[in-house]
Amino acid sequence: MIITLVKDADIACIDAMIDALESLDFSCQTTLGKHYTIVHVIGDTSRYDEKKLYAYPCVKSVVRIQEPYQKTQRQSLTEKTIIRVKNLEIGGREPVYIAGPCSIESLEQIESIAEMVAASEGHILRGGAFKPRTSPYDFQGFGEKALEYLSLAANKYHLVSVSEILDLNDLHLFEKYVDIIQVGARNMQNTALLKALGRASKPILLKRGFGNTVEEWLMSAEYIISHGNKNVILCERGIRTFEPSTRHTLDLAGMLYVKQISHLPVIVDPSHAAGRWDLVEGLAKASIAAGADGVMIEVHPQPERAFSDGAQALKPSRFSALVQDLKRLHKALK
Amino acid sequence: MIITLVKDADIACIDAMIDALESLDFSCQTTLGKHYTIVHVIGDTSRYDEKKLYAYPCVKSVVRIQEPYQKTQRQSLTEKTIIRVKNLEIGGREPVYIAGPCSIESLEQIESIAEMVAASEGHILRGGAFKPRTSPYDFQGFGEKALEYLSLAANKYHLVSVSEILDLNDLHLFEKYVDIIQVGARNMQNTALLKALGRASKPILLKRGFGNTVEEWLMSAEYIISHGNKNVILCERGIRTFEPSTRHTLDLAGMLYVKQISHLPVIVDPSHAAGRWDLVEGLAKASIAAGADGVMIEVHPQPERAFSDGAQALKPSRFSALVQDLKRLHKALK
Amino acid sequence: MIITLVKDADIACIDAMIDALESLDFSCQTTLGKHYTIVHVIGDTSRYDEKKLYAYPCVKSVVRIQEPYQKTQRQSLTEKTIIRVKNLEIGGREPVYIAGPCSIESLEQIESIAEMVAASEGHILRGGAFKPRTSPYDFQGFGEKALEYLSLAANKYHLVSVSEILDLNDLHLFEKYVDIIQVGARNMQNTALLKALGRASKPILLKRGFGNTVEEWLMSAEYIISHGNKNVILCERGIRTFEPSTRHTLDLAGMLYVKQISHLPVIVDPSHAAGRWDLVEGLAKASIAAGADGVMIEVHPQPERAFSDGAQALKPSRFSALVQDLKRLHKALK
Amino acid sequence: MIITLVKDADIACIDAMIDALESLDFSCQTTLGKHYTIVHVIGDTSRYDEKKLYAYPCVKSVVRIQEPYQKTQRQSLTEKTIIRVKNLEIGGREPVYIAGPCSIESLEQIESIAEMVAASEGHILRGGAFKPRTSPYDFQGFGEKALEYLSLAANKYHLVSVSEILDLNDLHLFEKYVDIIQVGARNMQNTALLKALGRASKPILLKRGFGNTVEEWLMSAEYIISHGNKNVILCERGIRTFEPSTRHTLDLAGMLYVKQISHLPVIVDPSHAAGRWDLVEGLAKASIAAGADGVMIEVHPQPERAFSDGAQALKPSRFSALVQDLKRLHKALK
């Protein structure tokens, strides 16, 4: 950690700060530059909250050298976490293809989509049972019943299932019915939920909050891992920007950067990023070509009748064709 | 609601869409423009999710005319909600001054700050018991014990108390110990929590998420109100932007706009927006001069020893002087 | 154009507004909704500045239906502009590969890079002669001499050349030496420059400003086209967001959207978006897989000795390998 | 400057980097931390482009300690530049009030507004002669004729005049007719224009670009100052964010921060930030209460007939009342 002092810093203030740091077993080394004085703090600062130091008036700026996300961070160039669910590997050689409706509307609906996903060589069936809607008047999901339908449909077609949790009190339902538990963008920093999921037995698919940095995203993964659950899959799904033509702006550079610094698998959700189906295929191809570990696509047989998010759902025939394109792209880069 | 159709839109698609809308008791009126055809949907569309319509390929764009936040919205130019807690009015003639430490560290600490807040003519004592930290390794708060200390200190000095809730299972503790329950920026769209707080008996201070629009903020207030709790205080605390010199960018125009369209009181938290104490006073003055219903300021007697967020805490003497400045400003505009 | 009126709008205000619009030969049709009254303005509104209407107090909101960028907009699903320079087609079947150094440093430097670009099957040689640096103390480019070197190097290896113009008074130099004239992100709304380039004989490569929307980008293209130069190539290069791990956030959804609504070719510059060479290859692959008409890559034989932007430059050997990957990807999608 | 090295950095790479730095007369001091090795570069690095160092693969990150804007930066806590134009002080004890129409439409129009500005105790008359419009089809201003009218109106009512320059070839006109030359947000990084204005005899009012950081804004001021013109007035006018309810988001914290680190006067333009007149008064009060050196307000006697930007213009009577409020606020804080 590197502390730059203000010009003409008060000596008593510097001494108090160094005493405080040394009482935590850090050692401090001071260097006089031509224009500024620097204090170099040596020791394991990964768990020290460097922002505290700004409370000392003698401090101009503090730069953290060590990353604060030790368990999420890749320790070597080749370290990679592969998560195994049933017979599926996530983060392995082949990208995974996840598809399904925004909301589970009936057993027939989710079974017919499951059949299509399996026929299209998809691996994971997604479907919402508890929906985090912006408006209290929008459809909120069918709850436990929907989780049960998802489970039946996934098992029937030998697919892995994933669904989003909103309330930590529902954890037992997710443990019972689904294979992977999703944390949505709006709950990425719901620390009470993250801690509870650290004690879950199922892998967690952690979406990036649309107002959150890559570092905060990794810190949320660190919450889950440090509370006991190592199986975290990251999912980039777009961030908030000033551009109004798409719902969010997909940050593929963020995805690439996370794959460099972390050992966790990273997938991409182009449907929620774009918010409009006609851009989803292009963004899915971009994601796989860039090296994502998978994509998650909203699919609905009759998007205009979907209970939610129909605007961004692909029709089944387009999804099937897309998977073939993605496979060709992945093969071209091997 | 106004729907613009794509050029050469498919007639069958238009018919299916109009049938679907009419089955919901809306009436549709079609107008041929010089370049585009428009469908005007008439009826109470405030609870209709207009994004659904994009699933019809004949739709180019949809514009909502009615606001989706009916209960949060101001119905007349003079409608205003005043929230009464003990003898205090929030949203009334005089702005309220809220102050206290980021974290409650001991009974002595919070009592000495309470004494100072009261002596400085502040009204509400804030203090964190459950802390939503970005890192799992940072101090997470002392929990119930801290709420108890807050309650003792506030009562001793005749102050109103406010503290942040993270886990809906802790609601009974907040009902027991505090006067106002805070929802933090990270949980603004934690809908499970918002629904639970709709059933609480205490007023809710709802912070704007740093990645959320004004409309989403009002929709979160609508969650609480539509679940039964009318007493919502809004709090602007800065949004995420590309500017790195402050932690967030305080959106005073957003505060002013919310005061125009909503009847709820709106206060401002300049401490979390700036992330550095040396900008807090200027932003607090700006907030009161612009017409905010109050400000919430982090105060700590020894910021460099604070367990969290010391960098943005004012020392008590500066807070006292600031309250006097704010009172002079408010008086100058009466 | 659709105008929504405020509740209880003043009749005199409405009449004045409608008179003003009708005096411009628009016709106005008023519809009473359940909650709001709508005025539908019919006629060619593409050149009318709809923001003017907000000056009428009776106006709540105005929605433009017709796009304001008529010449840039695609009139049919198949319309596409192909720009021919020497033997090269930009916007045709095959993506174009553009490479070169940030700054032209010497004739030897640019010739050796040109040789490598040609050998790697690249098509266009880029190189800066006038540099738009953030700091007045950074290297500002070698000016006309550098343009001359670029021209010599491009001709020697049968490449097309492109370089950025900063000052409209230099236009004669660019007409003399380069094949394509680049407008950089910082000058995207320098309307004096755009108007001058509307009278140029060479194609213009128009970069998107990092603080500009897609609509503003197309409006800047409209400036050039409406002043007489139809040959505009658009270039997406990342926008400003809150994410600090990359210099800007590459907006591939924006690129895809522009290709949908405009007939102009669109290429991508991943080097400036990322600001770090280790993400450039992944983003270039993403761009081509998504359907971009080309990529522009910074290349330097000794990045650490580059006069500018060495951090984002690929070494020649990596560029050669990258072009082969991009060709395989493009072929996989045919 | 502090360089952090990657783990297991290549010794040859480190040596090459240190040689390069020492050849520029910097001295380098290496410290082994527990987890990372640091190189501390000592010397005057204010004009060194630190991003260059990322081209060395051994470099993990570089932190600049010295600010790159030496001439713009405040050297002591009390240093302050006061700019004198005619009898007016900008950056002195009293804030300045600037008002006028977006576009100068006729001699009568600008004279009647000038009369009102003078009667309202305003100091500076603004008015556009060359307009930087997003659309080529919008009104572009009346050019030299308009500058002449501005000059006549300002002189008649003893006001200082300000107008925006777009094309550096028009500089002689601005030297002839106006007292202060404005650089608009879209041209903040038009370095050719900034260099030309460094040779102008008139003070420059430099608006912040809506996509630019505070540091870039100061670097643009540095361009003007380092080319010879010390009289720069900064103007905050809002930045691009994801919030759609206002045109831009006014960054008052940015204004406060600039006043801390720079000696230049800083004013605020709430009209362009808000884009809607009904928020302008609140934001103007916030600006003066926070300590801005002045505000610039768009005023038009008939906003609905304005040739441009009527939506954000105040009527004269509101402007007069606003100035009185601002004076009371300023007095309350003395």
* Inter-chain residue contact A257 with C273, CB threshold 8 Å: no
pLDDT mean over B8-36: 87
- How many angstroms away from the CA of D102 is the closest CA of chain C? 12
Q: Is B33 a residue whose pLDDT tops 80?
A: no
**Comparing A18-32, B207-221, C119-133, D154-168, which segment has the lowest mean pLDDT?**
A18-32
Q: Which two tokens stand for residue C295?
A: 């990529």
Identify the pLDDT of residue C75: 81
> Helices in chain B by DSSP H: which ranges?
11-22, 107-119, 144-156, 171-177, 191-197, 214-226, 252-261, 270-274, 280-290, 316-333
Identify the pLDDT of residue D2: 87
Q: Is B302 a residue whose pLDDT tops 90?
A: no
pLDDT mean over A263-286: 96
Identify the pLDDT of residue D239: 98
| Beta strand D160-164 pairing with D180-183 | parallel
Q: What is d(CA D60, CA D53) in angstroms, rounded to the nearest whole number?
A: 9
- How many angstroms away from the CA of B249 is the closest CA of chain D? 6
> Between B144-156 and B107-119, two packed helices, what is the crossing angle to 10 degrees?
30
pLDDT mean over D128-143: 91
Question: pLDDT tens across D229-249, in order?
Answer: 999 999 999 999 999 999 999
Instruction: Compare CB distances from A276 to B54, B136, B167 and report the shortest one's residue.
Output: B54
* Inter-chain residue contact A240 with B211, CB threshold 8 Å: yes
Identify the pLDDT of residue D202: 98
Do residues D183 and D209 make contact, with C-beta atoms less than 8 angstroms apart?
Answer: no
pLDDT mean over D33-41: 83
Identify the pLDDT of residue C21: 92
Q: Is A83 a residue whose pLDDT tops 90?
A: yes
Which of C297, C224, C232 shows the shortest CA–CA distance to C266? C232
pLDDT mean over D117-123: 97
CATH number of A83-333: 3.20.20.70
Bigger pLDDT: D116 vs B48? D116
Instruction: Compare CB distances from B63 to C2, C35, C242 and report the shortest one's residue.
Output: C2
Q: Is D1 a residue whose pLDDT tops 80?
A: yes
Handedness of CA D139, C190, D266, D227 (dihedral sign): negative
Which helix H or strand E contains C175, and what residues bound it? helix C171-177
How high is the mean pLDDT of chain D?
93
| DSSP 8-state secondary structure symbol assigned to residue D25 | T
Chain centre distance of CA A180:
13
Which residue is closest to C216 within chain A, CA to CA?
A243
Identify the pLDDT of residue C37: 87
Identify the pLDDT of residue D69: 87
Task: Indicate the pLDDT class of residue A55, thresholds 50, 70 and 90.
Answer: confident
Identify the pLDDT of residue C55: 85
Q: What is d(CA B138, CA B184) in angstroms, rounded to the nearest whole number?
A: 17
Interface of C with B (CB under 8 A): 2, 4, 29, 31, 33-36, 38, 40, 42-44, 46, 61, 63, 65-66, 240-242, 244
Instruction: Compare CB distances from D311 to C17, C55, C239 and report the shortest one's residue.
Output: C55
Domains A2-63 and A83-333 equal at CATH topology level: no
At a CB cut-off of 8 Å and minimum separation 6, what does C137 contact? D46, D47, D68, D226
* Inter-chain residue contact D2 with A34, CB threshold 8 Å: no
Identify the pLDDT of residue D6: 87
Which percentage of chain C shows pLDDT scores above 90?
72
Bigger pLDDT: A266 vs A70? A266
- How many angstroms away from the CA of A72 is the closest CA of chain C? 16
Instruction: Compare CB distances from A310 to B52, B167, B168 and report the shortest one's residue.
Output: B52
Question: pLDDT tens across B125-184, in order?
Answer: 999 999 988 889 888 899 999 999 999 999 999 999 999 999 999 999 999 999 999 999
Residues of B in contact with C65 (CB under 8 A): 4, 33, 35-36, 38, 61
Which percentage of chain A shows pLDDT scores above 90?
73
Q: What is the value of pTM for the model shown? A: 0.93
Q: Is A320 a residue whose pLDDT tops 90?
A: yes
- How many angstroms away from the CA of D62 is the closest CA of chain A? 10
Interface of A with D (CB under 8 A): 2, 4, 29, 31, 33-36, 38, 40, 42-44, 46, 61, 63, 65-66, 240-242, 244
CATH number of B2-63: 3.30.70.1140
Identify the pLDDT of residue B312: 87
Which percentage of chain B shows pLDDT scores above 90?
72
Identify the pLDDT of residue D65: 81
Do residues D165 and D141 make contact, with C-beta atoms less than 8 angstroms apart?
Answer: no
Question: pLDDT tens across A183-208, in order?
Answer: 999 999 999 999 999 999 999 999 99
Q: What is d(CA C183, CA C171) in angstroms, rounded to the nearest whole number?
A: 12
Q: Mapped to the 3 state alphabet, what secondary structure does chain A carry?
A: CEEEECCCCCHHHHHHHHHHHHCCCCEEEEEECCCCEEEEEECCCCCCCHHHHHHCCCEEEEECCCCCCCCCECCCCCCCCCEEECCEEECCCCCEEEEECCECCCHHHHHHHHHHHHHCCCCEEECECCCCCCCCCCCCCCCHHHHHHHHHHHHHCCCEEEEECCCHHHHHHHHHHCCEEEECHHHCCCHHHHHHHCCCCCCEEEECCCCCCHHHHHHHHHHHHHCCCCCEEEEECCECCCCCCCCCECCHHHHHHHHHHECCCEEECHHHHHCCHHHHHHHHHHHHHHCCCEEEEEECCCHHHCCCCHHHCECHHHHHHHHHHHHHHHHHHC
Side chain identity at residue C289, one-letter code: A
* Inter-chain residue contact B243 with D256, CB threshold 8 Å: no
Q: What is the ipTM of this complex?
A: 0.93
> Residue C35, exposed/middle/buried by CB under 10 A (0-12, 13-18, 19+)?
middle
At a CB cut-off of 8 Å and minimum separation 6, what does D302 contact? none
Instruction: Compare CB distances from A38 to D36, D40, D242 and report the shortest one's residue.
Output: D40
Do residues B275 and B245 make contact, with C-beta atoms less than 8 angstroms apart?
Answer: no
Task: Indicate the pLDDT class of residue A217, thresholds 50, 70 and 90.
Answer: very high
At a CB cut-off of 8 Å and minimum separation 6, what does C45 contact? C1, C26, C64, C65, C66
Identify the pLDDT of residue C152: 98
* Inter-chain residue contact A242 with C242, CB threshold 8 Å: no
Low-confidence ranges of chain C (pLDDT < 50): none
pLDDT mean over D4-22: 89
Q: Is D330 a residue whose pLDDT tops 90?
A: yes
Do residues B69 and B265 make contact, with C-beta atoms less than 8 angstroms apart?
Answer: no
Torsion of CA D183, D189, D191, D195, to 10 degrees: 40
Task: Indicate the pLDDT class of residue A224, thresholds 50, 70 and 90.
Answer: very high
Q: Is D156 a residue whose pLDDT tops 80?
A: yes
Task: Indicate the pLDDT class of residue D35, thresholds 50, 70 and 90.
Answer: confident
| Beta strand A160-164 pairing with A124-126 | parallel
- How many angstroms away from the CA of C251 is the closest CA of chain B? 15
Task: Indicate the pLDDT class of residue D33, thresholds 50, 70 and 90.
Answer: confident
Task: Indicate the pLDDT class of residue D254, thresholds 50, 70 and 90.
Answer: very high
Identify the pLDDT of residue C34: 73
Q: Is D169 a residue whose pLDDT tops 90?
A: yes
Task: Indicate the pLDDT class of residue B55, thresholds 50, 70 and 90.
Answer: confident
Which of C309, C259, C323, C268 shows the shortest CA–CA distance to C123? C323
> Helices in D157-315 by DSSP H: which ranges?
171-177, 191-197, 214-226, 252-261, 270-274, 280-290
Kindly list the domain boundaries of chain A, sorted by start residue: 2-63, 83-333
Instruction: Compare CB distances from C34 to B31, B43, B244 and report the shortest one's residue.
Output: B43
Q: Rounded to the nearest 5°, which phi and psi values hold at A142?
A: -95, 5
Q: Which two tokens stand for residue C69?
A: 């960028």
Q: How far is CA D66 from CA A35, B15, C290, D216, in A?
A: 7, 66, 42, 15
* Inter-chain residue contact D36 with A241, CB threshold 8 Å: no
Residues of D in contact with B329 (CB under 8 A): 289, 329, 332-333
Q: Is D185 a residue whose pLDDT tops 80?
A: yes
